[in-house]
Structure 1
């Protein structure tokens, strides 16, 4: 028993002695250098003063001054999209607006406000949306087609969960309900990667979206099954870079306001 204890102590002493030896730092540094990479050097981007401010390489879609980057569905009714005090406000029956330029993969920042004196319920309460890639109207000219992330007041308003704010409409339920009360400014920060198609029109890779609503993750690299129609199943049809669209839903609960809209192409 005594011999066994002595051997155990000796083994422990040798073990401690081995760990106390100085590492061969020069050898370790050389091993580390084998996995170091120095090119390509990332481009320098100057961030905004806050997380909401546009970085230096952003494309400004709305700067509070005008809507030069957008086209109107109803050119004769442009007064229904009003720019006042650096804020863009849509009223009912205004028709949606669409960017003049097309985009493929991007980071989008947008801020919106539901009216404080909101009325309606369910889908008729502060309903709008962001079409991350807008593909035009359906064959009947009735419904917008594309990939929509929902804007809706769900502060104290229940609806079908794949149609509430933060959802990829009728397709992906948001991971959380991060809605602020009506009258408060709210934010979306979205990473969009457009689908890719083969020459024959078949899908090569699906669209993906990551979205934060008011700083809370609501879509985590979700792979879309196709467009987000109001009726019917999602499908893909071959397309390329597409415009972004802000929806005017035409509900009595509008006007909804927007500000500080910018994107970075990826």
Structure 2
């Protein structure tokens, strides 16, 4: 037999094999999912502004009624055209509304370092569910003021940020937080821990880290049963940290 016949025979066998293989595959429609149509969300023109389905928690004085001090009293922090500034020797504030799984955007600014003494440099924190703290701190050109799992962007006393993305003091900064709330079994034992992903000034600093439990200053964290949704809390720690443009999306 000629060489050309062998080439023809080999081509025929390859074609038959390809045809047989294609016949074993399901139709393309078998992997099309039409079960849940995603709702339409209109993104903002700027990444710092809230999308259409966000709950705006603070954009100005008109939003103070969405917050209260821990004792239920009206907020005593200062509010001006720039934002809301902590008044030392008051207390933390928390939202009236409760949240669980959420995407949170919050902007913050530490004061002139001359205002603070010792290690208390722009010290505050964002407490998801009032329990799980993402640290706010003046960490620009960070040296040895505080332990690394206590600097800006750390899950306090639990996770060191991947990088230090801090800006200079008195400069507005942002956190974009994806928080997955813990889940408890019917007997109140822990089923799934909380997780957190964070961008600091649009830089990834925490990538789906597992939380060991609520924040504790001394000792080791551990989970205890709590509600599926709880208020968002901002910490008063004696430093005049400022906040603006706070919004949240539940998922």
Tell me, yes or no, whether TM beats 0.5. Answer: yes
Residues 52-77 of structure 1, C-alpha deviations (whole Å, 9 max, x = no match)? 01011111110213311101146778
Residues 208-231 of structure 1, C-alpha deviations (whole Å, 9 max, x = no match)? 111111111111111111111010
| Structure 2 partner of 1:155 | 140
| Structure 2 partner of 1:124 | 120
Whole-Å separation in 2 of the counterparts to 1:39 and 1:74? 46
| Structure 2 partner of 1:69 | 66
| Structure 2 partner of 1:103 | 99
User: Do residues 196 (structure 1) and 183 (structure 2) align?
Assistant: yes
Whole-Å separation in 1 of the counterparts to 2:212 and 2:97? 25
| Structure 1 partner of 2:233 | 245
Aligned to 1:211, the other structure's residue is in SS state strand
Q: TM-score, normalised by structure 2?
A: 0.85
Whole-Å separation in 2 of the counterparts to 1:72 and 1:121? 25
What RMSD over aligned residues (CA atoms) do the two structures have, in Å? 3.0
Are 2:149 and 2:157, in contact at CA under 8 Å, matched by a contact in 1? yes
* Counterparts of residues 211-230 of structure 1 (less than 5 Å): 211-230=198-217
Whole-Å separation in 2 of the counterparts to 1:74 and 1:239? 19
| Structure 2 partner of 1:31 | 27
Whole-Å separation in 2 of the counterparts to 1:95 and 1:227? 19
Are 2:105 and 2:245, in contact at CA under 8 Å, matched by a contact in 1? yes
Aligned to 1:100, the other structure's residue is in SS state strand
Are 1:72 and 1:95, in contact at CA under 8 Å, matched by a contact in 2? yes
- Of residues 21, 38, 43 in structure 1, which corresponds to 2:39? 43
Pairs aligned (count)? 239
